[in-house]
Amino acid sequence: MDHRAFKNEINEQFSRIAKALANPHRFEMIDLLAQGERSVDELAKETALSVANASQHLQALREAHLVTTRKGGLRVYYRLSDSTVYQLVQDIREIAERQLAEVDRIVNTYLTERKSMEPVTLNELLARLSEPGLVILDVRPLLEYAQGHIAGARSIPIDELEGRLNELPPHQEIVAYCRGAYCVFSDEAVELLTARGYNARRMDEGYPDWHLAQLPTEKN
């Protein structure tokens, strides 16, 4: 056996995954696809890219078999090929958090209000899932809620929250969650709710983390 040829060829295949992820827009796309499938147009709008640019990034992810597609009418919808794709991105983030001081600097610069918010962990929320006095609030877009959400959660997208506060009981604890640890929707929700006198906290991770942990979910 030619050991050097084997090492070169097998590591070249492994590096295909790293090359496919070596772009910040693709990280964001995987975050979005972890919520549920999307068309190219929807992904382009969410990531502030042109449709052509978004298509190129999706093609790179598809060539590495990190995403797969289905045809729906005239549209092509993308989704993660496997839940381990999101797990890989989470692992990369955890390494970056431990090894790169720049991550903390960016979080402290942009998420200044988060320091004053007491987070709720996945395990804590799981233990309280059936607690009658707890409101679990999904503040992601309605499409994402419909494709999957924490069991028992109610949906009020963040851009509708201020106009729908009357739908929330004023004397019950509210736990808001969104797309993940670096999604700011839940931060904005807690900031708004506490300013209006509600007892609100944010889940420190997001729906994909809950789903990846195989905790109770529902679909509409």
Q: What is the pLDDT of residues 26-70, one digit of tens each?
A: 999 999 999 999 999 999 999 999 999 999 999 999 999 999 999
Query: In this structure, what CATH number is given to the domain that contains residue 50?
Result: 1.10.10.10
Domain containing residue 191: 108-218
Q: Does pTM surpass 0.85?
A: yes
19 lies in some domain: yes
119 lies in some domain: yes
Do 32 and 113 lie in one domain? The reply is no
Whether the pLDDT of residue 1 is over 80: the answer is: no
Do 213 and 155 lie in one domain? The reply is yes
Closest CA to 36 of 109, 143, 127, 114: 143
93 lies in some domain: no
178 is catalytic: yes
Say how many domains are in the chain: 2
Buried b (16+ CB within 10 A) or exposed e, 87-116: ebbbeeeeeeeeeeeeeeeeeeeeeeebee
pLDDT digits (tens, 9 = 90+) for 137-161: 999 999 999 999 999 999 999 999 9
Query: In this structure, what CATH number is given to the domain that contains residue 138?
Result: 3.40.250.10
Do 120 and 155 lie in one domain? The reply is yes
Do 184 and 141 lie in one domain? The reply is yes
User: 45-50 long-range CB contacts below 8 Å, 24 or more apart?
Assistant: 49/25
Catalytic residue among 66, 178, 193, 203: 178
97 lies in some domain: no
